[in-house]
């Protein structure tokens, strides 16, 4: 049901976007070429590898990790991640621990840390995920194949306004010998949304 | 201004218009976690664009059935519940 609904909604949205672009082009405000270039340059910078590098640095450099948890915008810029096109959005990082597991959602629409994770997966934008992540997160995680121990507290971050969230997963055991790039290669997109462990 | 740790209650959702207070978090009790700074008030910005006033934005934590929910809410959505 909700898939059909999402599909219809997305078809409606793309029709509206097409009509808007046609108007802007006919009035000489912009061109399809200009829009393509804009999207291209935005997406070229918005890559999940940015998020993976941030996590690997946080796992290996405690000073960086504490700066990341305190002021993530400044910390990720240290690593050369460009957030300029994103201002004034506040980036925040939620740390998984032995006691707490974090999960990211946007119940109102589909806010997502694109600069660090690239474009969001389609399930993230589905009505089912958006509704159930806040009402029954443990069950949702189970469907992602993630069975959390009962004692672990789940904190769901609903991105309702000007902040975007990323999860800092726990560093897997037995990775002490790995280099920072090797650690970055272990990280996954779902790990940074909170629907998987690393 | 609310200090971290302050107990707050969210107001009713305004009828009509744009808001960033989700319905499931209206008229709920929570606790201020952190002040994020002043941002253009989204409910007004939807109508008046850049002319909208800025308002303090707070991360507020709510306790649900077996888990916690944190959401970022503008000051005018909140009243003290101390």
Return the residue matching tokens 């006033």: B53
List residues in chain A touching B: CB distance below 8 A.
Answer: 88, 90, 92, 107-108, 134-135, 137-138, 153-163
Residue B81: pLDDT band (50, 70, 90) is: very high
* pLDDT at residue A1, as a whole number: 43
Terminal C-alpha separation, chain B? 14
How many C-alpha atoms does A80 have within 13 Å on its Cβ side?
5
In a domain, B48, yes or no: yes
In a domain, B65, yes or no: yes
Q: Number of structural domains, chain B?
A: 1
Among A31-35, A186-190, B21-25, whose mean pLDDT is lowest? A31-35
User: CA-CA distances (angstroms) from residue A120 to A78, A109, A126, B49?
Assistant: 24, 12, 11, 27
The percent of residues in chain A predicted with pLDDT above 70, rounded, is 95
ipTM for the whole complex = 0.95
Is residue A2 scored above 60 in pLDDT? no
- Give the domain range for residue B21: 7-80
Domains and CATH numbers, chain A: 46-193 (3.90.330.10)
pLDDT tens sequence across A147-187? 999 999 999 999 998 899 999 999 999 999 999 999 999 99
Is residue B32 scored above 80 in pLDDT? yes
In a domain, B72, yes or no: yes
Is residue A84 scored above 80 in pLDDT? no
d(CA B66, CA A61): 33
d(CA A3, CA A7): 6
Answer yes or no: do A161 and B70 touch at CB < 8 A: no
Answer yes or no: do A108 and B22 touch at CB < 8 A: yes
The percent of residues in chain B predicted with pLDDT above 90, rounded, is 74
What number is the average pLDDT over the span B76-80?
96
* Contact residues on chain B for A162, CB-CB shorter than 8 A: 36, 39, 57, 72
Backbone angles phi, psi at A126, to 5 degrees: -75, 150
Residue A3: pLDDT band (50, 70, 90) is: low
The percent of residues in chain A predicted with pLDDT above 90, rounded, is 71
Determine contact: B64 vs chain A, CB below 8 A: yes
pLDDT tens sequence across A125-151? 999 999 999 999 999 999 999 999 999
Answer yes or no: do A162 and B72 touch at CB < 8 A: yes
What number is the average pLDDT over the span B68-73?
98
Report DSSP letters for B9-71, one per residue. Answer: EE-PPPSSS--SS-GGGTT-EEEEEEEEEEEE-HHHHHHHGGGSPEEEEEEEEEE-SSEEEEE
**How close B70 comes to chain A (CA, Å)?**
5
Between CA A141 and CA A148, with CA A144 as vertex, the angle to 5 degrees is 40
In a domain, B2, yes or no: no
pLDDT tens sequence across A36-83? 888 888 888 888 999 999 999 999 999 999 999 999 999 999 998 888
Is residue B74 scored above 60 in pLDDT? yes
**How close B3 comes to chain A (CA, Å)?**
17
Of A135, A137, A161, which is closest to B74 when you measure between CB atoms?
A161
In a domain, B11, yes or no: yes
What number is the average pLDDT over the span A81-86?
77
Q: pTM for this structure?
A: 0.90
d(CA A15, CA A32): 15
In a domain, B17, yes or no: yes
What number is the average pLDDT over the span A105-111?
92
Is residue A86 scored above 80 in pLDDT? no
**How close A156 comes to chain B (CA, Å)?**
5
Of A107, A153, A158, which is closest to B70 when you measure between CB atoms?
A158
The CATH number of whichever domain residue B39 belongs to comes to 2.30.30.50
Answer yes or no: do B68 and A160 touch at CB < 8 A: no
Of A88, A107, A138, which is closest to B22 when you measure between CB atoms?
A107
Which is higher by pLDDT, B82 or A95? Answer: A95
In a domain, B1, yes or no: no
Residue A6: pLDDT band (50, 70, 90) is: low
User: CA-CA distances (angstroms) from residue B59 to A96, A157, A167, B64?
Assistant: 18, 9, 16, 16
In a domain, B35, yes or no: yes
Residue A108: pLDDT band (50, 70, 90) is: very high
Answer yes or no: do A162 and B39 touch at CB < 8 A: yes
Catalytic machinery residues of A: 106, 109-111
d(CA B81, CA A98): 32
* pLDDT at residue B10, as a whole number: 97
Is residue A11 scored above 50 in pLDDT? yes
Answer yes or no: do B73 and A161 touch at CB < 8 A: yes
């Amino acid at each position: 049901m909700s898939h059909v609904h999402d599909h219809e909604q997305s078809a409606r949205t793309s029709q509206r976007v097409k009509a808007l672009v046609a108007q802007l082009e006919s009035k000489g405000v912009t061109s399809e070429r200009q829009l393509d270039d804009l999207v291209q340059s935005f997406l070229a910078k918005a890559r999940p590898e940015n998020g993976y590098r941030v996590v690997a640095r946080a796992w290996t450099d405690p000073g960086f990790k504490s700066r990341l948890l305190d002021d993530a915008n400044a910390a990720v810029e240290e690593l050369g991640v460009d957030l300029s096109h994103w201002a004034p959005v506040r980036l925040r990082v939620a740390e998984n621990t032995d006691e707490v597991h974090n999960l990211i959602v946007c119940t109102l629409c589909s806010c997502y840390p694109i600069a660090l994770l690239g474009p969001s997966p389609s399930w993230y934008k589905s009505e089912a995920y958006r509704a159930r992540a806040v009402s029954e997160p443990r069950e949702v995680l189970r469907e992602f194949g993630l069975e959390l121990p009962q004692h672990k507290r789940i904190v769901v971050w609903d991105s309702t306004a000007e902040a975007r969230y990323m999860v800092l997963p726990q560093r897997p055991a037995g990775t002490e010998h790995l280099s920072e790039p090797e650690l970055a290669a272990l990280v996954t997109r779902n790990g940074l949304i909170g629907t998987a462990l690393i | 201004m609310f200090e971290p740790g302050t107990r707050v209650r969210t107001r009713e959702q305004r009828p009509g218009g744009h808001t960033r207070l989700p319905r499931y978090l209206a008229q709920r009790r929570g606790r201020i976690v952190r002040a994020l700074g002043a941002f253009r008030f989204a409910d007004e910005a939807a109508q008046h664009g850049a002319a909208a006033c800025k308002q303090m934005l707070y991360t507020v934590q709510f306790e649900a059935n077996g888990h916690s929910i944190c959401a970022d809410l503008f000051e005018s959505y909140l009243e003290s519940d101390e």
